Structure formats: C-alpha cells, structure tokens
C-alpha cells in the first residue's frame, strides 16, 4: 500500500475528517515530499482522532540524509500529555517553534509545528524535527552555570515557591528568565514549551502581545489583568524588584476553572430567567382562557368567580414577570405591588369613579416567595374594596400604603367607602381565608381590621427577613 493510500485509510478509520479535509491532507503530503529535500529533517503530519486528547501520525517523510527513526511512526497514536506542543497548535491554530522533545529512539529533537487548516478549521499539524542530541550536554552545562549565577536570596526561597499555586517567573534587566518555580515549569509545558525555559527571553515566553520593553514602562501591568491563550485564562501581575539584577517578576495564576464556572453560572441564570418568562406566559394564557370563559357565561356569580380567579393568577404572574428580567431572586416590592394594582385597575375599568393610589416611603428588596404571597394578599384586599366598600354609589378612593421602619413592614389597604360588615359570609369567603392564612403562615405576621369614620383600614405587619 502506498503512503498516500495509507493516509486515506487512517483518516477514514480513526478521524471525523471530511473528504475535503482529507484531500487537503493529501495535498500537504505532496508539498512535504518537496520540502524534505531542502529542509533536511524528518517531517510528520498528525491529525486528531475521534478519541479525546489523541492524535495519529498519518504521514512521515524522511530526509535523504540520516533519519532519526529506524521504524516509521505512521499509524501510531500520540496523546496530549506526550505531545503538548502538537495539541497547543491544534487548539489555537498558531504555529510553535523550537519545541524540545524526545523520540522513541531516545534522541533529542527540536520541533517546529504548524497548523494545517481547511478554511477556518484546524484539521492537522505539520511537524518538522531536527536532531539536537549533540547539543544537549552543552545546554546542561550552561544551565548549571546559570544556576550558579542565581542570587542567594532566590535560591533560599526556591523550595517555598515550588509549593505555590501561582507560576512565578523572574527576569533580569535584559529580559532573560533567571528563575522559575515548579508551577511555571508545568504551566509552560502544558502550553507546548518542552525544553528548559530558563535563559529564554521574555518575548519568547510571553502569553500575550506585550513585549519586554512594554512590560517595563507599562505601569498598568502592576495590577491584575486577564490574559487568554487558547482555552486557558490567566491572571497576570507584574512586580518590580528594586535594586536587583532580577528586574521584573511576573506572577501567573491559572483562572480557567473560575472562568468556566462563571460561564456555567451565567448560562444557568439565563436558563432560570427563561423559565420564569415561560411561567409568566403560561399564567397569562390561563388568565386569558378564564376571561374568554367569563365572556361566554350569562351567570353573574360565575363571571365574578372567574374574574377573581383571573386576578389571582395574574398577581402570581407579577413575580415571574420581574424575575424574568433579572438574575437575582430578590425583587423590588414596590414594583410587584404596582404590577398587581395596574392589573386590578384594568380589571375594574368599568368602575371608573373609583380611584386607586399607591404610597410607599422607600424602595426595598424582598425574596420572590414573600413577594408572591404579598401580591396575592393585596389582590384579595383591593378586590374586596372594589366589590363591597362603596355600595351602590361605586364612587370613592382606595389607597395601598407600604411603610418600612427598620426590619418591620406595614402594608395597609384603606378605602373611604361606606364600610362593610365582616359577617360570617365575608369571613368564610375564599378571599378572606387566603388573606388570613398567608399573613399568619407564610409571612408569620399579624392582621388588623380598623373601622374608620368613613371607610375601612385593613393592614398586616411582618418582619423583613435577611436574605
């Protein structure tokens, strides 16, 4: 089987690449055949498989000179943990150069990795490897010399820094890295830096567009700010080390999980708002059906009962209407009451000689459960005024007053009508039962009836709970 047919077979068996994607990979293989003679290095093409965090080698082209590989790695799987540089390129679509790695034959190589794209999608990586095994011993000696140059103060805190969750990097006045802790080493390896990063320049290690010169002069970077690379988020802080060869310290904190959690909570909040919106719509639909049923009825008592039920449903809908427009569960009580009163005013629009007013001494928030209870209580009390307080004249004023003093709330429904007798019929009505039960059981409050010289004052008091 030819190498090109092998590409087709592996892509079809192990990947989700489309026929158009595979055609791009085959064309890249043709280009590799030409490149390898000029670059004198081993060149590979890797593509992501259907398994998470795993890619497969689908093509390998050896130079005419000596290759580092006795056996071809075509068909072998590469996991993210073993090839972080490859996965960094696949995730970001940005090429990575001078990555150090170790082959199966225990040879040390440097990798230049480039994305292979089909339109805006990364479908694979092109990896060029050069043998640098002969340079490793020299590099180790340079690293030892660099370690000797570290100030004693840095060496004394090195063991402590290795226990920190933040990545710490300290650069000299020229921008070369002189110190890094274990967390920084792990972080940069996850970003595809497989070789030793100490001694590298800041500009080769930066995870944003800021150069070392900009870092020196930008005072704003002394404060925390977010940077993003690929799927990772970091909180970055610059610390100037005065009177020291180690001029700049950079602290990086991985906040990816926090950002992901914030996004998750936002999505949940949006979903909850949508639920409240749908509940409100459903309640309004039920009220509309009751209104239609009322219009079809010729029985006055049936019309009254349907109207009462419709107003109760709409008073409950008031809370869901407000919750559908915000993220928190706390609701402005004034807005809830005004919603209920506006609905009642429309419901009793034929009684245009009765005016309805609302007075409150301040705005305050209340939880949604209590808001719904209060909406129902006020709905019943105001309905009662419309139905019984003004007799045949149907003329007068209804006031709803809310007074907050410290943690105690007093809500009054006052009319200036002829007054009405709290007979057994009234006391045994559904509306009165709702008021008594909800004030006592839901709000843990008290209910008072006061006959005025002209009209009636019905009020209830309760403690505002701390949310």
What does the pLDDT read at residue 138? 55
φ and ψ of 313, to 5 deg: -65, -45
137 C-beta neighbours (distance < 10 Å), count? 9
- Shared domain for 170 and 301, answered yes or no, is no
Q: Is 54 exposed, middle or buried (0-12, 13-18, 19+ CB in 10 A)?
A: middle
- Domain count of the chain? 3
- Shared domain for 223 and 341, answered yes or no, is no
pLDDT digits (tens, 9 = 90+) for 261-310: 877 777 787 788 888 888 888 888 998 888 888 888 888 888 888 888 88
- Shared domain for 304 and 417, answered yes or no, is yes
The domain of 401 spans 259-463
pLDDT digits (tens, 9 = 90+) for 408-439: 999 999 998 876 665 554 566 788 888 988 99
φ and ψ of 95, to 5 deg: -75, 150
**Residue 48 belongs to a domain with what CATH number?**
3.30.450.280
26 C-beta neighbours (distance < 10 Å), count? 17
**Residue 171 belongs to a domain with what CATH number?**
3.30.450.20
How do beta strands 354-360 and 396-405 pair?
parallel
What does the pLDDT read at residue 220? 55
- Shared domain for 285 and 210, answered yes or no, is no
Cα 359 from Cα 371, distance rounded (Å): 17
| pTM of structure | 0.49
Which residue, 207, 229, 254, sits at the end of a domain?
254
Over range 365-381, report the average pLDDT. 91
**Residue 298 belongs to a domain with what CATH number?**
3.30.565.10
State the distance between the two ends of the chain, measured CA to CA, in whole angstroms.
72
CB 459 within 8 A of CB 411: yes
Cα 50 from Cα 383, distance rounded (Å): 65
pLDDT digits (tens, 9 = 90+) for 45-73: 999 999 888 899 999 988 876 777 878 88
* pLDDT beyond 60 at 315: yes
Which residue, 66, 98, 131, sits at the end of a domain?
131
Cα 38 from Cα 182, distance rounded (Å): 39
- Shared domain for 144 and 110, answered yes or no, is no
Cα 373 from Cα 435, distance rounded (Å): 9
- Shared domain for 242 and 113, answered yes or no, is no
């Amino acid at each position: 089987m030819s190498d090109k047919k092998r590409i087709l077979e592996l892509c079809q068996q192990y990947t989700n690449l489309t026929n158009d994607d595979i055609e791009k990979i085959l064309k890249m293989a043709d280009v590799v055949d030409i490149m390898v003679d000029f670059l004198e290095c081993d060149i590979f093409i890797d593509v992501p498989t259907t398994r998470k965090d795993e890619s497969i080698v689908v093509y390998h082209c050896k130079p005419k000179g000596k290759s580092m590989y006795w056996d071809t790695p075509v068909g072998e799987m590469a996991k993210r943990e073993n090839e972080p540089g490859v996965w960094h390129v696949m995730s970001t679509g940005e090429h990575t150069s001078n990555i150090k790695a170790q082959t199966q034959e225990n040879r040390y190589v440097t990798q230049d990795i480039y994305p292979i794209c089909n339109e805006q999608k990364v479908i694979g990586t092109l990896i060029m490897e050069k043998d640098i095994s002969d340079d490793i011993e020299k590099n180790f000696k340079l690293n030892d010399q660099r370690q000797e140059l570290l100030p004693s103060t840095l060496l004394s805190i090195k063991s402590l820094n290795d226990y920190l969750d933040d990545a710490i990097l300290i650069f000299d006045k020229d921008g070369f890295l002189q110190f890094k802790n274990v967390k920084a080493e792990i972080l940069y390896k996850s970003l595809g830096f497989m070789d030793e990063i100490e001694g590298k320049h800041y500009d080769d290690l930066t995870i944003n567009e800021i150069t070392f010169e900009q870092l020196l002069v930008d005072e704003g970077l002394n404060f925390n700010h977010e940077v993003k690379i690929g799927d990772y988020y970091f909180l970055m802080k610059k610390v100037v080390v005065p009177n020291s060869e180690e001029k700049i310290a950079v602290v990086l904190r991985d906040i990816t999980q926090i950002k992901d959690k914030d996004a998750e909570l936002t999505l949940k909040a949006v979903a909850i708002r949508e639920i409240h919106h749908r509940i409100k719509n459903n309640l309004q639909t039920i009220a509309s059906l009751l209104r239609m049923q009322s219009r079809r009825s010729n029985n006055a008592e049936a019309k009254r009962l349907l109207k009462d039920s419709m107003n109760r449903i709409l008073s409950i809908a008031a809370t869901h209407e407000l919750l559908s427009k915000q993220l928190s569960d706390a609701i402005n009580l004034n807005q809830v009451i005004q919603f209920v009163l506006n609905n009642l005013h429309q419901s009793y629009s034929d009684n245009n000689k009765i005016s309805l007013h609302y007075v409150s001494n301040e705005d305050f928030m209340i939880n949604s459960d209590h808001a719904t209870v209060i909406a129902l209580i006020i709905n019943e009390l105001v309905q009662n005024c419309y139905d019984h307080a003004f007799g045949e004249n149907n003329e007068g004023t209804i006031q709803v007053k809310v007074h907050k003093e410290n943690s105690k709330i007093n809500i009054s429904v006052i009319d200036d009508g002829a007054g009405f007798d709290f007979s057994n019929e009234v006391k045994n009505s559904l509306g009165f039962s709702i008021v008594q039960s909800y004030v006592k059981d839901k709000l843990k409050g008290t209910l008072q009836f006061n006959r005025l010289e002209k009209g009636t004052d019905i009020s209830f008091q309760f403690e505002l709970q701390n949310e």
